[in-house]
Amino acid sequence: MRGLEMLSNTIFGVAMSLLAYDLPKASTFKDAPGWIGLVRVYAQPVIALAISFVVASGVEPEQLPSAVG
């Protein structure tokens, strides 16, 4: 597969996953949210989505970057 085609497939896959994942809607906020408000609402779903991508890709724990130096 060519590089550009792989990139477009990845972007499309992530976009469709985000749509299907049903993240909280803007109606969650009464007014324009600050950064802390966004983190409070979206942190848990985005972390869960990232973990699901890691699990689905079949990455072994030894291949993940270590957080401890």
Show the domain range for 49.
Answer: 24-63
Mean pLDDT of the region 14-24 = 75
In a domain, 38, yes or no: yes
Q: Taking a C-beta distance cutoff of 8 angstroms, is the pair 24, 45 a contact?
A: yes
In a domain, 28, yes or no: yes
What band does 59 get if pLDDT is binned at 50, 70 and 90?
low
Helices (H), the chain: 3-21, 35-57
Mean pLDDT of the region 12-36 = 78
Q: Is the pLDDT score of 39 beyond 80? A: yes
Q: Is the pLDDT score of 12 beyond 60? A: yes
In a domain, 45, yes or no: yes
How many structural domains are present in the chain?
A: 1
Report the percent of the chain where pLDDT is more than 90.
0
In a domain, 33, yes or no: yes
pLDDT at 68: 54
Q: Taking a C-beta distance cutoff of 8 angstroms, is the pair 15, 2 a contact?
A: no
Q: Is the pLDDT score of 69 beyond 60? A: no
The number of angstroms, rounded, from the C-alpha of 31 to the middle of its chain's C-alpha atoms is 24
In a domain, 10, yes or no: no
Task: Provide the 3-class DSSP secondary structure of residue 35.
Answer: helix
